[in-house]
């Protein structure tokens, strides 16, 4: 786990830069879970209100690239992810201050009431425009693990988040809306990819494969997904994870991904669509 730097341990020049824009910091809480950044703080400020601040050292090249990507994509994903209020660059650190979400991480476990809100937000994500700056194709994420001709099946025209784990989905206290945060690894690809990743997360959180796939089948993008594209996605992901942690350690995760193939194997028409005889529940 990455070591977090508390507010009082940050360089004085960076703290001064924050307070010059947002006002005196009245309270500071370090966020322990999630996030691959050295600074993750909830700050209560005199006139900036509550802010979520994440930051990295200039010497952290991957961290800087991720933070810069989040900054550039933020106007595109506003309304789905909180907007940036301030940007700070001082004392060898870069940081972004986001509007604070009064809420909690999504509950993806069996019996959760959050799944409708999560599905509704993911449908809105299908409608996001493509930003003007370069975002890599989703197939590039898996290129080293795709067989010849598989990459073309993962082409698409939708902005993807690609990491919809529960820490990156916040449910607001007021209204119960789902917010998808941490847009550090976006890609361009088929719209069904984020719902499919999320269905695997549902299984990881204890949902049965049947229930997770029933939730996933509420997405038109998934029902219309090409069988060859889903096969390429699952096979390449399984190869990648096995290469990363070893065949044995990867098996439980890879088994969850392979359940995605069972849904499509149940009887798809040639052009995609739902399995024959399968009743599709609405996920919103």
Domain 7-99 has CATH 3.20.20.370: no
Please tell me the predicted confidence (pLDDT) of residue 33. 77
Q: What is the mean pLDDT of residues 180-209?
A: 98
Within 8 A by CB and 6+ apart from 252, the residues are: none
pLDDT at 105 > cutoff 90: yes
Class of domain 105-265: mainly alpha
Q: pLDDT, tens digit, for every residue of 148-158?
A: 999 999 999 99
DSSP-assigned beta bridge partners for residue 158: 189
pLDDT at 39 > cutoff 80: yes
Q: What is the mean pLDDT of the chain?
A: 92
pLDDT at 139 > cutoff 70: yes
Please tell me the predicted confidence (pLDDT) of residue 265. 61
Alpha carbon distance 190, 223 (integer Å): 12
Q: How confident is the model at residue 275 (pLDDT cuts 50, 70, 90)?
A: very low
Q: pLDDT, tens digit, for every residue of 257-268?
A: 999 998 766 544
Q: How confident is the model at residue 277 (pLDDT cuts 50, 70, 90)?
A: very low
pLDDT at 278 > cutoff 60: no
Q: What is the dihedral of CA 64, 80, 132, 86, to 10 degrees?
A: -50
Q: What is the 8-class DSSP label of residue 101?
A: P
Highest mean pLDDT among 28-32, 148-152, 193-197, 266-270: 193-197
Structural domain boundaries of the chain? 7-99, 105-265
For residue 61, give Cα distances in angstroms to 4, 230, 284.
17, 33, 40
Q: What is the 3-state secondary structure (H, E, C) of 168-236?
A: HEEEECCCCCEEECCCCCCEEECCCHHHHHHHHHHHHCCCCHHHHHHHHCCCHHHHCCCHHHHHHHHHH
Taking the alpha carbons of 197, 203, 209, 214 in that order, is the dihedral positive or negative? Answer: negative
Q: pLDDT, tens digit, for every residue of 65-94?
A: 999 999 999 999 999 999 999 999 999 999
pLDDT at 280 > cutoff 60: no
Please tell me the predicted confidence (pLDDT) of residue 262. 86
Please tell me the predicted confidence (pLDDT) of residue 261. 95
Taking the alpha carbons of 212, 214, 216, 222 in that order, is the dihedral positive or negative? Answer: positive
Which is more confident, 263 or 219? 219
């Amino acid at each position: 786990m990455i070591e977090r730097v508390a507010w009082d341990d940050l360089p004085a020049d960076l703290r001064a830069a924050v307070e010059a824009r947002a006002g005196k910091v009245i309270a500071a809480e370090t966020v322990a879970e999630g996030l691959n950044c050295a600074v993750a703080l909830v700050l209560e400020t005199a006139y900036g209100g509550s802010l979520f601040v994440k930051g990295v050292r200039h010497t952290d090249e991957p961290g800087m690239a991720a933070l810069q990507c989040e900054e550039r994509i933020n106007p595109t994903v506003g309304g789905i992810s909180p907007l940036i209020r301030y940007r700070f660059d001082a004392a060898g650190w870069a940081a972004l201050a986001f509007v604070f979400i009064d809420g909690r991480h999504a509950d993806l476990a069996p019996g959760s009431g959050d799944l409708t809100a999560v599905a509704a937000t993911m449908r809105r994500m299908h409608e996001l425009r493509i930003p003007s700056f370069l975002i890599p194709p989703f197939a590039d994420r898996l290129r080293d693990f795709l067989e010849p001709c598989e990459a073309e099946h993962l082409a698409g025209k939708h902005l993807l988040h690609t990491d919809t784990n529960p820490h990156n989905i916040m449910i607001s206290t007021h209204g119960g809306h789902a917010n998808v945060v941490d847009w550090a690894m976006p890609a361009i690809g088929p719209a069904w990819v984020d719902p499919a990743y999320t269905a695997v997360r549902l299984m990881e959180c204890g949902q049965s494969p049947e229930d997770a796939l029933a939730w996933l089948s509420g997405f038109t993008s998934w029902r219309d997904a090409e069988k060859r594209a889903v096969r390429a996605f699952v096979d390449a992901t399984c190869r990648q994870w096995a290469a990363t942690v070893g065949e044995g350690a990867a098996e439980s995760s890879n088994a969850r991904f392979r359940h995605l193939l069972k849904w499509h194997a149940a009887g798809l028409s040639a052009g995609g669509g739902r399995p024959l005889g399968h009743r599709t529940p609405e996920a919103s």
